[in-house]
Amino acid sequence: MAKRIDVSGLSAFYGSHRAIDDISMTVEPRSVTAFIGPSGCGKSTFLRTLNRMHEVTPGGRVEGKVMLDDENLYGSSVDPVAVRRTVGMVFQRPNPFPTMSIYDNVAAGLRLNGSYKKRDLDGIVEKSLQGANLWNEVKDRLNKPGSGLSGGQQQRLCIARAIAVEPQVLLMDEPCSALDPISTLAIEDLIGDLKERFTIVIVTHNMQQAARVSDRTAFFNLEAVGKPGKLIEIDETERIFSNPSVQATEDYISGRFG
């Protein structure tokens, strides 16, 4: 079940450095939200606060609240490992487990979570690869290593791995930046399919991509290097790209800045 994310007053630190300051926003279930903004404004940091990955960095600390429907991810009784299962993540560089087969890459998260009968596992692996639009390309070589796939295929393998555990939210940090244009379009199409089932947040430096895939866009900025990043505005993507409310957003989008 896709869930609503409701962030309030969120700041994230690396040691004493405040990387992002006082961010509040809501992300609707079964929608795609794009995060845009100049390098260093804290997009990746913010994304990692949404599944409690930020605190894995030494010195990483968070203030504020992230609600997933009615559960605060930072509540004292919440297990961060369970959060990371509920809120899946796909990274910039495809990172399949290199020595594992294609099949085992997809099954890895499931095996961690419980024991499955071979037949059930086969079914989930196939469904996940179908969901990631990769099945036809790999169905005859499931036992070959994941590292033998092209970059675009590896990224779709990572998406299959992420969706195999049925997360409620899927976070993607520049998932296409290492990919050629055709693989990029394949991933963008896939995002369009996946949003029927998941709540999706995608960080991208590609304005056309944000415009193509997202329903809403959030623009982040920082006043100066060393200052914390802030959320400047979030709105319908169409509006952000045609008539944003803040001048800084317009400047960034029209390429006068960043």
Question: Among ligand ATP, Mg ion, none, what binds residue 131 when CB lies within 5 to 8 Å by partner kind?
Answer: none
Q: How many residues of this chain interact with Mg ion, rule: CB under 5 A?
A: 1
Q: How far is the CB of 204 from ligand ATP (least distance, A)?
A: 9
Closer residue to ligand ATP, CB minimum distance, 44 or 214: 44
Identify which range of 23-31, 41-49, 75-83, 164-172 contacts Mg ion by CB under 5 A: 41-49
Q: Cα(233)–Cα(217) distance, rounded to whole angstroms?
A: 8
Contacts of 168 (CB under 8 A, 6+ apart): 1, 2, 3, 68, 86, 87, 198, 199
Question: Among ligand ATP, Mg ion, none, what binds residue 42 when CB lies within 5 to 8 Å by partner kind?
Answer: ligand ATP
Q: Cα(145)–Cα(81) distance, rounded to whole angstroms?
A: 27
Q: Which residue is nearest to Mg ion (CB)?
A: 44
Contact call for residue 33 and Mg ion (CB under 5 A):
no
Q: How far is the CB of 187 from ligand ATP (least distance, A)?
A: 18
Closer residue to Mg ion, CB minimum distance, 44 or 249: 44
- Crossing angle of helices 102-113/151-164, nearest 10°? 20
Q: How far is the CB of 225 from ligand ATP (least distance, A)?
A: 7
126: which strand partners? none
Q: How far is the CB of 258 from ligand ATP (least distance, A)?
A: 9
Contact call for residue 44 and Mg ion (CB under 5 A):
yes
Q: How far is the CB of 151 from ligand ATP (least distance, A)?
A: 19
Q: How far is the CB of 157 from Mg ion (least distance, A)?
A: 22
Q: Which amino acid is at 186?
A: A
What count of Cα atoms within 13 Å lies in the side-chain half-sphere of residue 204? 24
Contacting residues toward ligand ATP, per CB under 6 A: 14, 19, 39-45, 57, 229
Closer residue to ligand ATP, CB minimum distance, 104 or 174: 174
Continuous H helices in 18-138:
43-49, 80-86, 102-113, 118-131, 135-138
Scanning residues 86 to 105, which ones bind Mg ion (CB under 5 A)?
Answer: none
What tokens appear for 214 in the block?
């997202």
Contact call for residue 168 and Mg ion (CB under 5 A):
no
Closer residue to ligand ATP, CB minimum distance, 13 or 241: 13
Q: How far is the CB of 76 from ligand ATP (least distance, A)?
A: 25
SS3 163: helix
DSSP class of residue 224 equals S
Backbone angles phi, psi at 144, to 5 degrees: -85, 155
Closer residue to ligand ATP, CB minimum distance, 20 or 129: 20
Closer residue to ligand ATP, CB minimum distance, 19 or 186: 19
DSSP class of residue 228 equals P
3-state class percentages of the chain: helix first, strand second, coil last, to nearest 5: 40, 25, 35
Residue with tokens 């947040």: 201
Residues that bind Mg ion (CB under 5 A): 44
